[in-house]
Chains A and B, each alone.
Chain A
Amino acid sequence: MSTNAVSGPPGTTSPAVPPGDQQQAAGWYSSMPVRQAAVIVLAGALWWYLATVTPPDSVPSPARTFGELATLLGTDAVWTAVAQTATTWLIGIAACITVGVPLGLLIGSSRRATDSTRLTIDFVRNIPPVALVPVGLLLWGPTRNMVLLLVISGTIWPIVIQSSYAARQTEPQLRDFALVFQLGRRWWLTHIFLPGVTPFVMTGLRVAATICLLLTVTGELFGGAPGVGTQIQNAQVGNDNPQMYAYVVVAALLGLLVNSLIWAAQRRLLKWHPSFRRRA
């Protein structure tokens, strides 16, 4: 979704500002990290305000929530839940990449294949994965397999579609180059086609990774399979708001972890790509 280029260190102003002015303009209090911290503090204050004006215990204060989280971190329950959610996520995304990327690339490489599968994919990808929760429950009950059904049915499509799009984006001049310089199929594939499709495939992967976590938590919340989602649900049913909020924070932290993982993978695979170059 967001393609943040690597920007300079926080606090740097445009190079056109002469150093002298820069010294004067930027005091410690207007540097970027401080500003970012200030925004977060403000959000925290808003949260605290909400906690006080709503009926007692319906919105636990930040202190209460993080206190609960700290307590939980000492118990086994939260780590088991995190492990379960993380494992499901991993299996889901690995399966989708293994099947989805080659499938998408194959489909995209052939005009006929793209045309033939267009309607089918268009229809099937629009079936909200949540709709499959009842089917999964019928087949497997509240288990990881049920969640995986959900996860894969939703995560594979962005990967297939983006990979298919990627395969069509090969630079025609590079095709001519490969022909004239007698590169042959193997070299074409490994040195031109695959590096060329990687940026687009990564975009699909980014979206897919987020959807994968979303669906994992959804499956747990609704299907009752063990994991962070179930804990949230249980806490809500048991009216334990601080615990519920604490687990939501855990879910958010997992989300951040997933984002960082993908970001790191992108930086490694795409260090040559324009979006990672020095901004002109």
Chain B
Amino acid sequence: MTSFGSEQIMTQIATAALEAAALGHHYGPLHVLRDVTFDVRGGEFVCIVGPSGVGKTTLLRCLSGLQRPSAGAVSFHGAQVAGPPRELALVFQDYSRSLLPWASVVDNVALPLRAAGMRKRAAAEAAKAALHEVGLGRADPSAYPWQLSGGMQQRVAIARALAYQPSIVLMDEPFASVDAQTRADLEDLVRRLQVDLGLTVLLVTHDIDEAVYLSDRIVALAGSPAGVAEIVEVGLGSARDQLDTKLLPRFAELRAYVYRLIRGARADQATGN
């Protein structure tokens, strides 16, 4: 391999999978987002964290192409997008409202594949593989989603995103609707999937612990209108554990740091804007 080849590889890795450039949004006179700029590189796990009501939902809708931002642009692999791009999958917070109650678990997961033209049997196979990947290999695939527990339903939603084979997965506070134990299991699941499958994940959350535990980098939002307070490098290594990682001194430092970022900037903004 000549040095030229390595440069190519470096450039590929360096091209952002997703890039937000000076995103801003307002609903009429109410400005929600201001000058949000960050990027997500391939294979990274990035968390967007901020207090409730700061505008995370709006940001997510702009990033996923569901909404056109009033200012700025969103690009995927360098190309600016107008609507949701094909390589993006979204996992919603409320699984009970984003999974079809009239379809079985396997049909739910297979639906996007069939809509893309895959034959029924092949789609069902792919769906079952994805379900196995998220730990539902032994669950009854012909059950309805509402017959499963909350944690299992969210796994179905994650399986649906996986089967779709996206290059980037966006998650909107995916663990907010489940209890703490289930949340820990799901966090580990998502981490494992990201590492094993080399996914690029962008997860929005209000839970600082979760953000520090899961991510490689944290985008801390704060203020009103919300802007990027800081982008924090986590650097806790790729092997994470609910007990050991959270006992590390660096974990506590990061936690406190992010907390201050979010709260501190807010106090400043309260006087300023």
Residues of A with Cβ closer than 8 Å to B? Answer: 171, 173-174, 176-177, 179-184, 187, 191-192, 195-196, 272-274, 277
Contact = CB atoms under 8 A, between A and B. Distances in A.
Interface in B106-146: 111-112, 114-116, 144, 146
Residue of A180, A196, A277 ringed by the most chain B CB atoms within 10 A: A180
Interface of B: 64-66, 83-84, 86, 88-90, 92, 94, 97-98, 100-103, 111-112, 114-116, 144, 146, 160, 164
Contact of B97 (A174, A192, A274): A174
12 contacts: A174-B97, A174-B98, A176-B92, A177-B92, A180-B64, A182-B86, A182-B115, A183-B112, A191-B115, A195-B102, A274-B101, A274-B146
Contacts of A183: 111-112, 115
A273 B100 CA distance: 11
B146 A277 contact: yes
Interface of A is mostly: helix
Given A174-B97, A181-B115, A191 B92 contact: no
A272 B147 CA distance: 10
B84 A182 contact: yes
Given A173-B92, A174-B97, A180 B84 contact: yes
B106 to A, nearest CB: 14
B61 to A, nearest CB: 8
B182 to A, nearest CB: 19
A173 B102 contact: no
Contact of B144 (A173, A176, A272): A272
A179 B164 CA distance: 13
Given A173-B94, A187-B115, A272-B144, A180 B89 contact: yes
A182 B100 contact: no
A172 to B, nearest CB: 8
A272 B112 contact: no
B179 to A, nearest CB: 17
A195 B100 contact: yes
B97 A171 contact: yes
A176 B90 CA distance: 9
A181 B66 contact: no
Given A173-B98, A176-B66, A179-B66, A191 B111 contact: yes
Given A173-B94, A180-B66, A192 B100 contact: yes
Nearest to A272: B102
A184 B113 CA distance: 12
Contacts of A274: 101, 146
A187 B110 CA distance: 12
Contacts of A184: 115
B100 A191 contact: yes
A274 B111 CA distance: 22
Contacts of A181: 89-90, 111-112, 115, 160, 164
Given A179-B84, A181-B90, 6 more contacts: A179-B65, A181-B160, A183-B111, A184-B115, A272-B101, A277-B146
B112 A182 contact: yes
A195 B144 CA distance: 14
A29 to B, nearest CB: 38
